[in-house]
């Protein structure tokens, strides 16, 4: 079969400039709202998968339970061959037809889903070591999670491409793994104060949160993705990569043990400030379990 040239990750930015800048909504919010998958669902997959593939199913075979080790209850495992339509993310050659295993949920009657030939899908995958990619035979990939095959639709692809565009931008917000340390200091006037929290990230890149409290009790907060702490920086908008990193990566309560050297009363104020940040971010809504390694 004819080998397909794969786009590089950097190429995404060159060919998707119609999508939003970082910290901005996609230019087609009405279409994106129709996607059955939340922003977090797609970002969970997109941030982990080295390959994102649009494909059409060619053939499927339901595997017997004894041939599906580790299959979760309520799922069926399929061996699938699919024709590649495009490589949305990835690098290196790939066969025009690929094979993989996927676990899909049973229907309300406990029956395996029916998969149709030429059904369009989105695959979040990694290459298989030793597979003959680019040869005349069918190549193999491994999904990054057992269920990392999603039905394709235009709204889902639009949202996915917007996420991938943000991921390759310089200074893209990194994954947050916890709170490193922080402090709260009272202001000059009664009621004033400032809380600063410094976050742990998977890449080691600095991320911080600043909350300023005015004398009247009103609060204003900002997040800095980088070395420079800009208290006037806008709050990351919902359904952007910055929002996702914070809403889905921050712990649900502030670990007060991270506020070493801060007086007990000031620790309480820092915890209250942190709760305001979480409330402003809102829930990290997911409809599926994040893949391993997120």
Structure confidence by residue, pLDDT tens digits, 242-272: 999 999 999 999 999 999 889 999 999 999 9
Question: In Å, how far are 53, 106, 134, 199 from 258, measured between CA atoms?
Answer: 42, 45, 51, 10
Please give the pLDDT value at position 131.
Answer: 60
Neighbours of 39 (CB within 10 A): 25
Residue 217: give the domain boundaries.
176-281
d(CA 122, CA 88): 9
Q: What's the pLDDT score for residue 8?
A: 34
pLDDT value at residue 92: 72
Number of alpha helices (DSSP H) and beta strands (DSSP E) in the chain = 6, 10
Mean residue pLDDT of the chain comes to: 86
Which of the four pLDDT bands, split at 50, 70 and 90, describes residue 16? Answer: very low
Task: Decide if 1 is inside a domain.
Answer: no
On whether residue 187 sits in a domain, the answer given is yes
Same domain, residue pair 72 and 204: no
What is the phi/psi pair of residue 120, to 5°?
-80, 140
Residue 25 has pLDDT above 70, yes or no: no
Mean pLDDT of 212-217: 95
Q: Where are the beta strands (DSSP E) in 63-205?
A: 75-89, 97-105, 120-127, 139-143, 149-151, 176-186, 193-201
Give the torsion through C-alpha atoms of 256, 259, 262, 264, to 10 deg: 0
Confidence of residue 292 (pLDDT cuts 50, 70, 90): confident
The confidence band for 66, taking pLDDT boundaries of 50, 70 and 90, is: very high
Q: Which residues pair with 126 in a beta bridge?
A: 142
Please, what is the Cα angle at 39 between 36 and 43, to 5 degrees? Answer: 120
Assigned domain for 2 exists: no
Residue 14 domain flag:
yes
118 and 181: one domain? no
- Checking if the pLDDT of 31 tops 70, the result is no
CATH code assigned at 129? 2.40.50.120
**pLDDT class of 48 with cuts at 50, 70, 90:** very high
Query: Does residue 163 sit in the same domain as residue 27?
Result: yes
Name residues whose C-beta falls within 8 Å of residue 175's C-beta, 6 or more positions apart in sequence.
47, 201, 202, 203, 245, 249, 294
Same domain, 197 and 146: no
Answer for the pair 87, 4: CB distance below 8 angstroms, yes or no: yes
- Together in a domain, 163 and 214: no
Strands 149-151 and 51-62: unpaired
Structure-token match 């035979």, residue found? 137
Q: Is the pLDDT of residue 101 over 60?
A: yes
Residue 10 has pLDDT above 80, yes or no: no
Tokens of 218: 């009103």
pLDDT-derived band of residue 294, with 50, 70 and 90 as boundaries? low
Let me know if residue 34 belongs to a domain: yes
Across the range 170-185, mean pLDDT stands at 96
- Of 14-18, 69-73, 78-82, 238-242, which range is least confident? 14-18
Do 189 and 254 belong together in one domain? yes
To the nearest whole percent, how much of the chain has pLDDT over 70? 85
Q: Taking residues 202-227, what's their average pLDDT?
A: 94
Q: What is the pLDDT of residues 267-288, one digit of tens each?
A: 999 999 999 999 999 999 999 8
Whole-angstrom Cα distance, residue 187 to residue 11? 48
Percent of the chain scoring above 90 in pLDDT: 76
Q: What burial class does residue 173 get, using C-beta atoms within 10 Å of its C-beta: 0-12 exposed, 13-18 middle, 19+ buried? A: buried
Lowest-confidence range among 29-43, 99-113, 211-225?
A: 29-43
User: Is there a single domain that holds both residue 89 and residue 149?
Assistant: yes
Q: Are residues 233 and 152 in the same domain?
A: no
Query: What CA–CA distance (Å, rounded) separates 91 from 8?
Result: 5
Question: What's the whole-model pTM score?
Answer: 0.83
Asked whether residue 130 carries a pLDDT value surpassing 90, the answer given is no
How many other C-beta atoms are found inside a 10 Å radius of the C-beta of residue 109?
A: 5
Residue 134 confidence (pLDDT): 47
Mean pLDDT of the region 74-96: 93
Identify which has the larger pLDDT, 293 or 273: 273
pLDDT number for residue 237? 95
Total domain count, the chain: 2
Distance CA 72, CA 35 (A): 26
């Amino acid at each position: 079969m004819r080998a397909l040239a794969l786009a590089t990750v950097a190429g995404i930015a060159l060919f998707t400039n119609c999508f939003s800048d970082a910290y901005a909504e996609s230019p087609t919010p009405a279409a994106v709202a129709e996607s059955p998958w939340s922003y977090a669902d797609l970002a969970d997959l997109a941030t982990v998968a080295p390959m994102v593939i649009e494909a059409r199913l060619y053939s499927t075979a339901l595997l017997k339970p004894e041939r599906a080790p580790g299959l979760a209850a309520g799922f069926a495992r399929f061996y699938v061959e699919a024709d590649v339509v495009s490589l949305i993310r990835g690098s290196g050659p790939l066969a025009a037809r690929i094979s993989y295993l996927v676990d899909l949920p049973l229907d309300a009657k406990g029956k395996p889903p029916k998969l149709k030939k030429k059904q369009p899908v989105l695959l979040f995958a990694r290459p298989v070591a030793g597979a003959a990619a680019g040869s005349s035979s069918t190549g193999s990939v491994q999904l990054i999670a057992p269920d990392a095959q999603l039905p394709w639709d235009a709204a889902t692809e639009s949202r996915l491409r917007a996420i991938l565009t943000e991921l390759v931008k310089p200074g893209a917000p990194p994954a947050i793994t916890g709170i490193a340390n922080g402090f709260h200091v009272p202001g000059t006037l009664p009621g004033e104060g400032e809380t600063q929290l410094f976050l742990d990230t998977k890449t080691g890149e600095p991320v911080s949160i600043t909350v300023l409290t005015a004398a009247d009790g009103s609060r204003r907060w900002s997040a800095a993705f980088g070395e420079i702490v800009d208290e006037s920086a806008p709050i990351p908008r919902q359904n952007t990569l910055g929002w996702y990193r914070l809403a889905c990566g921050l712990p649900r309560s502030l670990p007060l043990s991270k506020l070493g050297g801060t007086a007990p009363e000031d620790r309480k104020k820092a915890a209250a400030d942190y709760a305001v940040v979480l409330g402003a971010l809102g829930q990290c809504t997911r409809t599926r379990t994040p893949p391993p390694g997120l």
